[in-house]
A and B are shown apart, each in its own frame.
Chain A
Amino acid sequence: DAGVTQSPTHLIKTRGQHVTLRCSPISGHKSVSWYQQVLGQGPQFIFQYYEKEERGRGNFPDRFSARQFPNYSSELNVNALLLGDSALYLCASSVGQSSYNSPLHFGNGTRLTVT
């Protein structure tokens, strides 16, 4: 079975540009979560979408936005990129809404470099 797939795998952008990252969850998974992992740190929660609605948001500025499509895939958008946005962006999917009962399955991430 295919796992969580993310595209692109690597991306280089310039300050001020915007970027769109894509995620396809495991078939049958209705929840998609986005995390940012800066080098040397653990992943930090950005968003959760479940059944196409936002169900959680971390402490990130409004430059970060996301959406979930009817097929449960998701996009993460970041506007007005800053050097500090350089990180590995992880997508995780789960069957249900809660990590208590539905373990998260992570993709391999998109490595974003902002120059």
Chain B
Amino acid sequence: GNSVTQMEGPVTLSEEAFLTINCTYTATGYPSLFWYVQYPGEGLQLLLKATKADDKGSNKGFEATYRKETTSFHLEKGSVQVSDSAVYFCALSMNQAGTALIFGKGTTLSVSS
């Protein structure tokens, strides 16, 4: 079946460090890929998305590139801030007509000053 695998957390970084959170997927077909973020005390919110191979999603300094050959969608940021501390979820959708997302388990990022 379709699934998403994320790197285990927590990830602990110092401010201004480089961030990579790995995400790989298994899918029968060509999914759309998403990163959602959950800040402390808030609901999940969309961070970025990519709908086809080689697309790059970007937002708030975060980037992820849809790699069909490696079935990956790794999240990167060049210089993290304390305010980036949150739980990050990678997700895919196989249904262009609906809202059924398949999520990974989430990766907790903690950034210290």
Taking Cβ atoms with an 8 Å cutoff, the residues of A that contact B are: 3-4, 31, 33, 40-45, 48, 55-56, 58, 90, 92, 94, 97-100, 102-109
A103 to chain B, nearest CB (A): 4
Taking Cβ atoms with an 8 Å cutoff, the residues of B that contact A are: 4, 32, 34, 36, 41-46, 49, 51, 89, 91, 93, 95-106
Q: Is the interface of A mostly helix, strand, loop or mixed?
A: loop
Q: A100-B51, A104-B44 are in contact. Are A58 and B100 (CB under 8 A)?
A: yes
A54 to chain B, nearest CB (A): 10
For A108, the chain B residues whose CB sits under 8 A away are 41-43
Quick check: A56 and B95 within 8 Å, CB to CB? yes
Quick check: A107 and B43 within 8 Å, CB to CB? yes
Please count the residue pairs between chain A and chain B whose beta carbons lie under 8 angstroms apart in the complex.
78
Q: A90-B44, A104-B44, A104-B46 are in contact. Are A98 and B97 (CB under 8 A)?
A: yes
Residue of B nearest to A57 (CB): B100
A-B contact pairs, 12 of them (CB 8 A): A43-B44, A44-B103, A45-B99, A55-B98, A55-B99, A56-B95, A92-B44, A100-B51, A104-B46, A106-B36, A106-B44, A106-B45
Bound CA span A90–B36, Å: 14
Quick check: A98 and B103 within 8 Å, CB to CB? no
For A40, the chain B residues whose CB sits under 8 A away are 105
B66 to chain A, nearest CB (A): 13
